[in-house]
Amino acid sequence: KSFEIIEKNVNLAHFNESEKLIIKKLIHTTGDYQFADITIISKSAIEVGIRAISENLPIVCDTMMVKSGITSKYLKNTSCKVYSFIHYKNIIRKANKMGSTRAEAAIDFSSNKFKNAIYVIGNAPTALIRLLDLYDENKVQPSLIIAFPVGFVSAAEAKDILARYKNLAFITNKGPKGGSACAATVMNGLLTLFHKSGS
């Protein structure tokens, strides 16, 4: 019923069916119709995401909240492992030593562990900026970036930078809105589309 209400109250005609599912899930999660206007899905991002899931690539989250939001039922019939390193003691020590955020230190760690992964960022713009820096330095090659960092400090700016990358597959949004629930919702949506595709 919620999805029927969403379709009646927002124009989704310019999205394909897979994109519509992602947008409707975001609106359902947030109660905010504006996500139909502010969400950016790069060309082939959904296809790339489905392929990454079929290849059982790791899913790296910036926070435990994002990790917890990726529902186990959607992970059935995949061998994808979901990680968040931000709470690791060695990450905390490194962040303190380097004067960086834990989110940045966690991205450094994950980039060394996995050269190719799905990155799901729902809280820390510093994680997204660091990931893009490492990509520029050819130290990591994200398969897909789902980026919905939230807030008024660097979040909108980080997402604007991501949106300018033509060679990366990503799903993000404009402005300060977002959060862990949004990022996890998009990942759950991709997993749903993976199962529907029969991959």
Token digits of residue 185: 């919702």
d(CA 6, CA 27): 8
Asked if residues 135 and 168 have their Cβ atoms less than 8 Å apart, the reply is: yes
Best CA proximity match to 184, nearest among 29, 24, 21: 29
Counting Cα atoms < 13 Å in the Cβ hemisphere of 32 gives 14
Environment class of residue 175 by beta-carbon count within 10 Å: exposed (0-12), middle (13-18) or buried (19+)?
middle
H or E element that contains 23: helix 17-30
Residue 28: active-site member = yes
| Catalytic residue of the set 14, 28, 87, 195 | 28
The residue written with tokens 């799905």 in the block is 118
Asked if residues 154 and 179 have their Cβ atoms less than 8 Å apart, the reply is: no
Q: Which residues are catalytic?
A: 28
